Amino acid sequence: MAAGKKVWGVLTAITLLGSLLLMMGLSLECCGAAAVDRENGPRVTVVVINRLSLDDLAALRGSALLDLAAKGGIGLMNTRTGGGLTAENAYASIGGGARLLGGAHAKLALSSEAVYKGERAGDIYRRRTGWDPPPGSILVLDIENIKANNLASGNIQLVGLIGETLREAQLNAALIGNADTQEYQRWAALIAMDSRGQIPIGSVDPELNTLDPGFPTGRRSDIPVLWQEYLRVRASAPFVVVDLGDMDRVEEERRQLAPSRYRSYRRTALESADGFLRELLSTADLSKEWILVVSPLPIGEGASRGELLTPIIAAGPGLAPGLLVSTTTRRPGVVANYDIAPSVLAWLNLPSPKGLPGAVLTTTGKIPQIFSSSNVGPDTPLEVRLRYLAELLSRSAAVYLHRAPLLKTFVTLEIIIYLTAFALAAVYPSLPRGWTNCMVFLLLFIASTPLALLVLPLLQPVTVTAAFLYTLAAALSFAALAWVLIAKTERRFVFICAVTALGIAADALLGGPLIKYSPLGYDVMLGARFYGIGNEYMGILVGASLLAAPAVKERFPRTAPIVVLWFLLVTFILGLPTLGANAGGTITALAAFPFAYGMGDRGRRWKAFGFLVAVLAVLVLLNVIAADGVGSHVGRALKLVLEGSWAEIAAIARRKLAMNWRLMRYSIWSKGLLVALGIMAVLVYRPTPGIKEIMEEHPSLRRIVFATILGSLAALLFNDSGVVAGGTASIYAAGLVLSLILEQRGRRGEE
pLDDT digits (tens, 9 = 90+) for 434-466: 899 999 999 999 999 999 999 999 999 989 999
Q: What pLDDT, on the 0 to 100 scale, is given for residue 653?
A: 57
- Parts of the chain belonging to CATH 3.40.720.10: 45-98+155-366
Residues 624, 327: Cα–Cα separation, whole Å: 15
Please indicate whether residue 494 or residue 604 has the higher confidence score (pLDDT): 494
The separation between CA 484 and the C-alpha centre of its own chain, rounded to angstroms, equals 42
Nearest to 732 by CA among 444, 463, 352: 444
User: What average pLDDT score do residues 26-52 get?
Assistant: 65
Q: What pLDDT, on the 0 to 100 scale, is given for residue 568?
A: 87
Residues 308, 100: Cα–Cα separation, whole Å: 17
Confidence of residue 119 (pLDDT cuts 50, 70, 90): very high
User: What average pLDDT score do residues 98-125 get?
Assistant: 95
Residues 430, 424: Cα–Cα separation, whole Å: 9
Q: What pLDDT, on the 0 to 100 scale, is given for residue 662?
A: 59
Confidence of residue 642 (pLDDT cuts 50, 70, 90): low
The CATH number of domain 45-98+155-366 is 3.40.50.300 = no
The neighbour count for residue 291, using CB atoms within 10 Å, is 23
Residues 174, 234: Cα–Cα separation, whole Å: 8
pLDDT at residue 656 is higher than 80: no
Q: What pLDDT, on the 0 to 100 scale, is given for residue 39?
A: 58
Check if the beta carbon of residue 416 is closer than 8 Å to that of residue 675.
Answer: no
pLDDT at residue 600 is higher than 60: no
pLDDT digits (tens, 9 = 90+) for 694-744: 888 888 888 888 889 888 888 877 776 667 888 888 899 999 999 999 998
Residues 661, 143: Cα–Cα separation, whole Å: 30
511 sits in the region (left: phi over 0; alpha: psi -120 to 50; else beta) called: left
Question: Do the strands 239-244 and 43-48 form a parallel or antiparallel pair, or are they unpaired?
Answer: parallel
Please indicate whether residue 609 or residue 458 has the higher confidence score (pLDDT): 458
pLDDT digits (tens, 9 = 90+) for 527-545: 888 888 988 999 999 999 9
The separation between CA 96 and the C-alpha centre of its own chain, rounded to angstroms, equals 16
566 CB-contact burial (10 Å; exposed 0-12 / middle 13-18 / buried 19+): buried
Supply the angle between the helices 731-750 and 489-509 in degrees, to the nearest 10. Answer: 160
Q: What pLDDT, on the 0 to 100 scale, is given for residue 615?
A: 62
**Total residues found in the chain within this entry:** 751
2 CB-contact burial (10 Å; exposed 0-12 / middle 13-18 / buried 19+): exposed
pLDDT digits (tens, 9 = 90+) for 283-318: 999 999 999 999 999 998 888 899 999 999 999 999
Assign 3-state DSSP to the chain and report helix, strand, coil percentages, each to 5. 65, 10, 30
pLDDT at residue 27 is higher than 50: no
Lowest mean pLDDT among 17-26, 249-258, 283-292: 17-26
Q: Could you give phi then psi for residue 209, rounded to 5 degrees?
A: -115, 160
User: What average pLDDT score do residues 32-47 get?
Assistant: 66
Please indicate whether residue 360 or residue 35 has the higher confidence score (pLDDT): 360
Contacts with 556 (C-beta within 8 Å, 6 or more apart), sequence order: none
What is the DSSP track for 558-612? GGHHHHHHHHHHHHHHHH-TTTT--HHHHHHHHHHHHHHHTTTSGGGHHHHHHHH
Check if the beta carbon of residue 247 is closer than 8 Å to that of residue 269.
Answer: yes
Check if the beta carbon of residue 740 is closer than 8 Å to that of residue 698.
Answer: yes
pLDDT at residue 690 is higher than 90: no
Q: What pLDDT, on the 0 to 100 scale, is given for residue 181?
A: 94
pLDDT at residue 638 is higher than 90: no
DSSP state of 101: -
The separation between CA 75 and the C-alpha centre of its own chain, rounded to angstroms, equals 15
Q: What pLDDT, on the 0 to 100 scale, is given for residue 481?
A: 97
| Consecutive H or E run containing 75 | strand 73-78
Contacts with 742 (C-beta within 8 Å, 6 or more apart), sequence order: 421, 424, 425, 431, 436, 439, 440, 443
Confidence of residue 652 (pLDDT cuts 50, 70, 90): low
User: What average pLDDT score do residues 325-329 get?
Assistant: 93
Can you point out the beta strands (E) in 300-374?
310-315, 322-325, 334-336, 362-364
Q: Could you give phi then psi for residue 151, rounded to 5 degrees?
A: -65, -40
Q: What pLDDT, on the 0 to 100 scale, is given for residue 616?
A: 59
pLDDT digits (tens, 9 = 90+) for 463-478: 999 999 999 999 999 9
737 CB-contact burial (10 Å; exposed 0-12 / middle 13-18 / buried 19+): buried
User: What average pLDDT score do residues 133-147 get?
Assistant: 96
Task: Give the percent of the chain with pLDDT over 70.
Answer: 82
pLDDT digits (tens, 9 = 90+) for 192-234: 999 999 999 999 999 999 999 999 999 999 999 999 999 999 9
Residue 72's alpha-carbon distances to 51, 62, 346, in angstroms, are 21, 16, 17
Q: What pLDDT, on the 0 to 100 scale, is given for residue 726?
A: 81
Task: Share the mean pLDDT of the chain.
Answer: 85
pLDDT digits (tens, 9 = 90+) for 353-391: 877 889 999 999 989 887 654 444 557 899 999 999 999
The neighbour count for residue 272, using CB atoms within 10 Å, is 18
660 half-sphere exposure, CB direction, 13 A CA radius: 22
User: What average pLDDT score do residues 52-74 get?
Assistant: 93
Q: What pLDDT, on the 0 to 100 scale, is given for residue 661?
A: 56
